Homo-oligomer: A and B are copies of this chain.
Amino acid sequence: MRSENRSTGQGPGEGKRRSFIEEARRAQIIDAAVETIAEFGYVDASLARIAQRADISKGVISYHFDGKDELLEQVVVQVYGAIAEEVGPKVRARGNGREALRTHILEVARHMQSHRARLLALTAIFAGARTRDGSPRYGQADNEPIYQGLESMFRRGQEEGEFRDFDVRVMAVTLQGALDSMFSYWVARPEYDMEDHARELAEMFDRATRASSR
């Protein structure tokens, strides 16, 4: 997405290989950014606040990242990466069909529970980040990989007769929306039992997708 090399910057370039300590700093800053955005939202997550939370000077962020945009992009990359890495394999292990669908829902819920701040930051960035001309910087396009993963799951279930014949794209979008709304609801109510919610969701989507019995 970003492509130009830094014209004058002092820090290491973007594609450059990075030292261990460089990577550690970047990770630390990304973490601080995640927490700050999760707590204060996109608008108020200034470099000053992020630096303060990381207990470093503002300049360090500029040194290690090309700018605020690159930092936020790395946050997005990191969060997406983590979820793909954690949830993906478990779902694929289930084979396809009804069990995979149920596993996806429950595992995503579990992931949300253990990475609350990350996902909060992700949604904040998605909602808030804009390009220079005012249009959203991130958007549905970035969900495409998720949708395609879900679709292939649905499609196989349909081919094997477990699932009825529905529009897989609509189902994917809907499932993602259902999970998002579950997360938002839980975030606002820390005592809420998200696992219970996820189990209800699994039942719902099972009914919504399965082939008409006998």
Indicate whether A103 reaches chain B with its CB closer than 8 angstroms.
Answer: no
Indicate whether A189 reaches chain B with its CB closer than 8 angstroms.
Answer: yes
Residues in B whose Cβ lies below 8 Å from that of A148: none
Q: Would B41 and A8 count as touching, CB distance under 8 A?
A: no
Q: Would B185 and A41 count as touching, CB distance under 8 A?
A: no
CA distance A170 to B52 in the complex (A): 39
Residues in B whose Cβ lies below 8 Å from that of A134: 39-41, 44
Residues in B whose Cβ lies below 8 Å from that of A44: 130, 134
Q: What is the oligomeric copy number?
A: 4
Indicate whether A96 reaches chain B with its CB closer than 8 angstroms.
Answer: no
Residues in B whose Cβ lies below 8 Å from that of A204: 166, 170-171, 174, 208
- Residues facing B in A123-138 (CB within 8 A) are 123-124, 127-128, 130, 134, 136
CA distance A173 to B182 in the complex (A): 7
Indicate whether A139 reaches chain B with its CB closer than 8 angstroms.
Answer: yes
Residues in B whose Cβ lies below 8 Å from that of A207: 207-208
Indicate whether A167 reaches chain B with its CB closer than 8 angstroms.
Answer: yes
Indicate whether A60 reaches chain B with its CB closer than 8 angstroms.
Answer: no
A-B residue pairs in contact (CB < 8 Å), sample of 16: A10-B58, A44-B130, A123-B127, A124-B127, A127-B127, A139-B184, A140-B189, A166-B200, A171-B204, A173-B197, A174-B201, A178-B181, A180-B180, A180-B181, A204-B208, A205-B208
Give 15 new A-B contacts, CB below 8 A, not counting A180-B180, A204-B208: A8-B46, A43-B130, A44-B130, A127-B127, A139-B188, A140-B185, A170-B197, A170-B200, A173-B181, A173-B185, A173-B197, A174-B181, A177-B179, A178-B178, A208-B208
Which A residues lie at the B interface, using CB under 8 A?
Answer: 8-10, 39-44, 46, 48-49, 52, 58, 123-124, 127-128, 130, 134, 136, 139-141, 166-167, 170-171, 173-174, 176-182, 184-185, 187-189, 196-197, 200-201, 203-205, 207-208
